[in-house]
Amino acid sequence: MDQALVVPDREDFIATKGKQKKQLKCDADSIAGCVSQRACVYCGARVVLNPVTDAVHLVHGPIGCSTYTWDIRGSLSSGSEMYRNSFSTDLKEQDIIFGGEKKLLACIDELVQKYQPPLIFVYSTCIIGVIGDDLKSICKQASKQYGIEILPVESSGFIGNKSAGYRAACDTLLHLIDLGKESLHQVSSQRQAAKQINYLGDFNLSGEAWIIKGYLERMGVKINVAFTGDSDSQHIKKAPDVDLNIIQCAGSMHYLAEKLEELYHIPYLQVSFLGLQDTANSLRNIAAMLQDETVAAKAEQLIAEESAKVKPDIDFYRSKLVGKKAAIYVGGGFKAISLIKQFREIGIDVVMIGTQTGRQEEYETIDTLVDDGTVILDDANPAELEKFMIEQEAHILVGGVKERPLAFKLGKAFIDHNHNRKHPLSGYVGAVNFAREVYTTVCSPVWKYLSK
Amino acid sequence: MGGLLNLSRNVNENPCNMCMPMGAILALKGIEQAMVIIHGSQGCCTYMRRHIAEHYNEPIDVGSSSLNEKGTIYGGEKNLKQALDNIRRVYHPRMVGVITTCLAETIGEDIRRIADDYLTERKLDDLFIVTASTPGYGGSHTEGYRFTLRKIVEQLVEPATRHEKINLIVGDLSTADIRELQRLLAMMDIEYVMLPDVSDTLDRPYSSHYDKLPPGGTRLSDIRTMSGAAATIEIGITMPDELSAGKVLEEKFGVPLYQVPVPIGVDNTDRFLAVLTEITGKIVPEGIQGERGRLLDAMVDSHKYNFEGRSVIFGEPDLVYAVTKLCCENGIYPVAVATGSQANKLSQALEPLIADCPQPVQCLNGSDFASIREVAEARGANLAIGHSDGRYLEERSHIPLVRLGFPIHDRTGGQRLLSVGYTGSANLLDRLTNTLLENKYKTYRRDMYEEFYQHEAK
Ligand code: SF4
């Protein structure tokens, strides 16, 4: 590092490619007072489960947790809009003292009467863990009483970070799948009939899952259920009915894929539909995994057609952007990896890259991909982002809502890679959208006025 | 009046309020070189930062003590002290506001004691730590905001010699509103201490140099001498006494207190200026009189359109009160007025305002958007006024929403909306009228066709 970090405890979380051979520290608790950009367990769980469209999402806790997460994600639905509401037991001082179980039951009663939902997720928040409400038994009891699925999500905020929340969400999904077991008959014989796969780790932001679904259909592959973009309780229960699971967002869904392999012997494949190269590779790999030559042939045809279609656009943007430098700070490691490649496709090199919840293997991959001198950091904070964006002379930052104003204040361009984006970034369409967004921000005339 | 709707429901469906620490952050962001540490788990802090950043489009750095399982079981003292160390290292604040969350309160953390120990242990006599207990279940962000201001006054103000300045304690208004109040005071040649002052800190000008802590905010030296002021004007009439910072100054230091509504609308602005005159003896200058005249002119120009308006107003109680007043002055009679906070004083204050409304007005206290929507639809509202979380009124009930207050996260420039004073009121009124007009022009051809066109046999 050229200049010592202000908080020495953070040294191990930061590395410069090529300079030293040390292992980056990750997956540890955030250091107090470091203004981490990371969220909590509840947040992780909510992100993953929120797109389940026909579920009532009931937050058991005080009002804030529910307010701040109300319909802030751009997941789209082809059916129910129930998931866009935010329900809370809205605990008050009295409930904290005497326990919130009674209120929770009363809320469930009300919700069942008003909406007759097929499924209710009950999220536990920070204080539920402390006051000791027995979510499990309440949900079980209510489930029995009403004959619908009412599932607890163990997402007390302080027991870990966002990754723990992903796991809690996956456990809840597994529970739901397990409940549907009886309705699945002769799983194995059905599997041979048609090529069916589950698509894990796409939340259908701006219709991204629909785009991928379209590609696969053109290849003669049917998506059984997407986790969790535009999914519903009925379809989720049919998850074991497939030949293959593919995972887009690894951070949130790797665990679910492993479990599904263990329990239902479904193999899985890591894919990425961010960028031209990754999209093409992923489609090919799916065909290979399914060991089907017609599928493979159709995949090649699709890749050829779609690549040709977007080439002029990508070439145009590339010509405008070549030579610029990018900084990346996103949630998961896998997304970060895809972004490095995607930037290369439009002529941009990455000079700083970090994630909130990246895993060791992902950081290793990142290290092999980036050029010497690139700064790699885990669980960064605004002060570090500021320092490295300036030192590394980045022109553009990719990140979430919290990082945007910082980039703008530093006079840098910015790309939103967050859950409330309004245009898809997946597949060939997404690759063009990405390039266009980079172009709109990097090549805006406003920057000229800042240096005056 | 339609009476207070009794919400016997248990579940909160689509919240109309936020939690206490959120308000605390907003208040603390208006103090010179201040940083905030939220004592609790990481998530609350991240969510609130995200929310505020999206409204103000400003970097919102707030520290967290990042309480984990261990801290929750054995106490978070170590975490909080470490957080203070790290915040000081990176930000060099002159003041730190330490506030709590649900979690810290539930496990019973004594943040004042920890803060005092910290100051002694580290031998710091030039750092101020203001502490406020703000459990998320203790009230809405409005209470968190007021409570924190009160704590700032309780913990920082010292006895001082009398001086000419007045104290102006403001609610959670847009940065444009704050600047407008400052302009009015300057025009009247009145010296003041404004608490808090977010005009620069939450809306900072672009500069080639980036400061981690933005310049601006209420000066600590000024806060300390608020005890010697000629009077305090506190903008807000719905807070209970125990949440009023002005009351502390009155009771402890004998500074006369005037509580006034947010100066939106003719009457409320008149009242604000009249209080200024009463305290300082200075008359309202011609320039401001001209602005008043222009507002009246605007009201006349648009009165016929406005008379077709039937509004539903929601949000932070004091803002709701002031906007209701403006609506009533212009014939945009409210059919429903709602807040997510528990604001008992609000319904009292509203009573005389809405007594003359042609239709009964439903007042909703401690409400959520499920109830607000239900009432707004049933009463035929054609205009909604409030923050972005009311967007379903627009999306699902097709009641156009004029965005006002906090948070505005689905439009840009929420912090630049000007609504106070005569000029701001005219500005807001135009936004309301034009929304009514836009909606009318959008639909009248179709409406008339559907209502009157008859098929002729050719
Ligand atoms: S309600 Fe409590 S737990 Fe939830 S965000 Fe607010 S302070 Fe945090």
Q: What is the pLDDT of residue A7?
A: 81
- Cα angle A125, A128, A91 (rounded to 5 degrees) comes to 85
- Asked if the Cβ–Cβ distance from B11 to A408 is below 8 Å, we say no
Task: Extract the tokens encoding B145.
Answer: 């905001």
A positions 328-387 inside 8 Å of B (CB): 381-383, 386
Atom of ligand 1 nearest to the CA of A65: 4
Bond before B407 cis per omega within 30 degrees = yes
A positions 419-448 inside 8 Å of B (CB): none
Q: What is the pLDDT of residue B71?
A: 78
Q: Residue B163 class from Cβ within 10 Å (0-12 exposed, 13-18 middle, 19+ buried)? A: middle
Spell out which residues of chain A touch residue B62, defining contact as CB-CB under 8 Å.
35
Task: Extract the tokens encoding A360.
Answer: 């060791």
Q: Which of B129, B117, B135 minimizes the C-alpha distance to B40?
A: B135
Spell out which residues of chain B touch residue A110, defining contact as CB-CB under 8 Å.
9-11
Question: Is B87 an interface residue toward A (CB < 8 Å)?
Answer: yes
Low-confidence ranges of chain B (pLDDT < 50): 1-6
Give B404 to chain A, closest Cα distance, Å. Answer: 18
- Asked if the Cβ–Cβ distance from B137 to A95 is below 8 Å, we say yes
Give yes or no for residue B136 CB within 6 A of ligand 1: yes
How does pLDDT run across A364-419, given as a tens digit for each residue? 999 999 999 999 999 899 999 999 999 999 999 999 889 999 999 999 999 988 77
* CA–CA distance, A344 with A364 (Å, rounded to integer): 19
* Residue B19 CA, ligand 1 centroid: distance in Å: 6
- Asked if the Cβ–Cβ distance from A34 to B48 is below 8 Å, we say no
- Asked if the Cβ–Cβ distance from B18 to A68 is below 8 Å, we say yes
* Residue A190 CA, ligand 1 centroid: distance in Å: 47
Q: Which DSSP string do the residues of B238-269 spell out, in sequence order? A: SS-GGG-HHHHHHHHH---EEEE--S-SHHHH
Question: Is A110 an interface residue toward B (CB < 8 Å)?
Answer: yes
DSSP helix/strand/coil, B389: helix
For residue A97, give every residue at least 6 positions away whose Cβ sits within 8 Å of its Cβ, in sequence order, or none. none
Spell out which residues of chain A touch residue B87, defining contact as CB-CB under 8 Å.
33, 35
Q: Residue A393 class from Cβ within 10 Å (0-12 exposed, 13-18 middle, 19+ buried)? A: exposed
- Asked if the Cβ–Cβ distance from B44 to A90 is below 8 Å, we say no
Q: How many CA atoms lie less than 13 Å away from A141 in the CB half-sphere? A: 12
Q: Which of B112, B97, B111, B94 minimizes the C-alpha distance to B63?
A: B97
* Residue B272 CA, ligand 1 centroid: distance in Å: 36
DSSP helix/strand/coil, B153: helix
**Which helix (DSSP H) or strand (DSSP E) does residue A227 occupy?**
strand A222-228
Interface test with B, best of A402, A422, A452 (most B CBs within 10 A): A402
Low-confidence ranges of chain A (pLDDT < 50): 1-3, 189
Give yes or no for residue A128 CB within 6 A of ligand 1: no
Residue contacts between A and B (CB atoms, under 8 Å) = 225
What are the angstrom distances between the C-alpha of A218 and each of A213, A215, A299? 9, 5, 8
Give B107 to chain A, closest Cα distance, Å. Answer: 8
- Asked if the Cβ–Cβ distance from B101 to A126 is below 8 Å, we say yes
CB B160 within 8 A of CB B167: no
Which residue CA neighbors atom 3 of ligand 1 most closely? B102
CA quadruple B192, B197, B199, B200: dihedral sign: positive
> At which residue do the structure tokens 């608790």 appear?
A29
- Asked if the Cβ–Cβ distance from B59 to A62 is below 8 Å, we say no
How does pLDDT run across B223-269, given as a tens digit for each residue? 999 999 999 999 999 999 999 999 999 999 999 999 999 999 999 99
- Asked if the Cβ–Cβ distance from A130 to B137 is below 8 Å, we say no
Question: Is A69 an interface residue toward B (CB < 8 Å)?
Answer: yes
For residue B4, the 8-state DSSP code is B
